[in-house]
Structure 1
Amino acid sequence: MTTMVQNQAKIFLADKRSRYESNEYRCLCTPIHQNGMDNQIVRFSDETLAPGKSRFFTMDENVSLILLPLVGTIVYGSLESQYSVKVSPEELQTFSLSKGTYFSIKNPSEDSLVNYLQIWIKTEVARKKVVFDDYKENILNTIFDNSSIKLHFGVLNGRTEATLVPSYPDGTLVTFVINGAFEIQNRLLESRDSLALWNVDQLELEALSENAIILILEQKNSY
């Protein structure tokens, strides 16, 4: 890959994430919001839920929620609005949640674990389901887009390179390796590692393994 200017960045290694684990539930959180690095991304967690189990959450502030299943189908439920929706891999679901509301995430399977990403952002995002099963391989596909955030998803073969020109050059970029290994801005990231970057004019990456899968979150700064 070409030599480039090193941007302000922070690597979050998979095995250094904060961890909560019980017999039914595991949560691995990437602390992007800590130490003043980015106060708009409140939660970025990689969660696993046992068969037939549910997890309940209460909002301490107004946020938008993004659910992205990686393995298995989950069910989001709101007891207040009596609303529920199933979300499966190659789908994402967004919600706008106000302070004091609560919701559940359930694993409807009787015999299999589910694994999903849960992202909370201080940005207004309407309730919406997005299906992106028609994505193209070996490029970065934009799977969600509004005025403040964008999500990009890529499945790349080994040694494939890709470039992203951010829509918000003075904002935050968060890359999350779902599977495999990548070189991103001259930094090595492996499965479930993250890299947060600020003030990036161009993001360059290269897949270092077959079936390397990446998620990239663009967040516009809020002044």
Structure 2
Amino acid sequence: MKQQPSIIYKRFLQKTESTATYQKRTIAEIQDEICIVDLTLSPKGSWHFMPKFNTILAIPLAGGIQVQKPEKMHAIPVGNFLELYPTAENHVAITNPFASETVNCILIHYNSAPGQSQLQTLELPFFQWQNNPMHLTLRQFSNREEFEFMPQKPNHPLWAICLAGAFEFENRLLEDRDGLQLISPHLCEMESLCEGSILGLIQL
């Protein structure tokens, strides 16, 4: 199979920041375009930051999280995600509300037209969502399940993020929290390598 031009982001090479309360791993980042973060919070831990983008999708994967802006707090359980529109002047806090449980979430930072922050439902095994310019697909697979995906915008980069398990994606191995950017994607072929694997596909 001929490989499409791409950049791979292996987990062990990703930029990581760790403290007693959180571990933040930057899966992929392109200045002024997108930043995809894998965030793990210790019990009652939190991460505070000043947003560089005007839109954030906060997707809890293990345990619920709380997202605090100066004017409002959002509680996000698993099976939901928050479409957040912060302002550059105010910091945002992502918090683990549990006293004895570690939680994990994915944060997708990008720029879009201003809107109202809102909680959205996320249902697997297949979920698609779009809000210009974002196109997001999440899919959970059975073992050895094959799938073909046609990007919405063939001339725009596509990011594939392994959120659980492992995949063969366009003849490349993606394991847990590995990422792959296809530069000018067309029809993508993939196969799950274990039961319950979850893949995120992101395009702006």
Please, what TM-score do these two structures have when normalized by structure 2? 0.93
Q: Which runs of 4+ in 1 moved over 3 A?
A: none
Residue of 98, 105, 121 corresponding to 2:94: 105
Instruction: Name the structure 2 match of 1:213.
Output: 198
- Alpha carbons of 1:160 and 1:173: their partners in 2 closer, same or farther (altered >3 Å)? same
Preserved CA contact (<8 Å) 1:47 1:118:
yes
CA distance, structure 2, for counterparts of residue 44 and residue 147 of structure 1 = 17
CA distance, structure 2, for counterparts of residue 119 and residue 67 of structure 1 = 7
Instruction: Name the structure 2 match of 1:129.
Output: 119
Residue of 123, 139, 146 corresponding to 2:131: 146
Instruction: Name the structure 2 match of 1:176.
Output: 161
Preserved CA contact (<8 Å) 1:94 1:125:
no
Cα deviation, residue 158, structure 1: 1.2
Residue of 69, 72, 78 corresponding to 1:89: 78
Instruction: Name the structure 2 match of 1:75.
Output: 66
CA distance, structure 2, for counterparts of residue 146 and residue 123 of structure 1 = 8
Instruction: Name the structure 2 match of 1:17.
Output: 14
Instruction: Name the structure 1 match of 2:103.
Output: 114
Preserved CA contact (<8 Å) 2:58 2:105:
yes
Preserved CA contact (<8 Å) 1:63 1:98:
yes
Letter in 2 for 1:115: N
Preserved CA contact (<8 Å) 1:74 1:114:
yes
Letter in 1 for 2:69: S
Letter in 2 for 1:45: V
* Structure 1: gaps spanning 5 or more residues: none
1:29 aligns with 2:26: yes
CA distance, structure 2, for counterparts of residue 99 and residue 108 of structure 1 = 25
Preserved CA contact (<8 Å) 1:90 1:132:
yes
CA distance, structure 2, for counterparts of residue 31 and residue 217 of structure 1 = 11
Superposed CA RMSD: 1.5
Q: How does 1:33-72 map to 2 (within 5 A)?
A: 33=30, 39-41=32-34, 43-59=35-51, 61-72=52-63
Letter in 2 for 1:149: M
- Alpha carbons of 1:122 and 1:147: their partners in 2 closer, same or farther (altered >3 Å)? closer
CA distance, structure 1, for counterparts of residue 154 and residue 114 of structure 2 = 21
Kindly, what percent of the aligned residue pairs are identical?
23
List per-residue Cα deviations over 1:61-98 (Å, max 9, x = no partner): 4421110101111011111x2x1111122211111223
Preserved CA contact (<8 Å) 1:96 1:124:
no
Cα deviation, residue 99, structure 1: 2.0
Letter in 2 for 1:163: E
- Alpha carbons of 1:213 and 1:125: their partners in 2 closer, same or farther (altered >3 Å)? farther
Letter in 2 for 1:123: S
- Alpha carbons of 1:62 and 1:174: their partners in 2 closer, same or farther (altered >3 Å)? closer
Cα deviation, residue 123, structure 1: 2.3
Please, what TM-score do these two structures have when normalized by structure 1? 0.85
**How many equivalent residue pairs?**
203
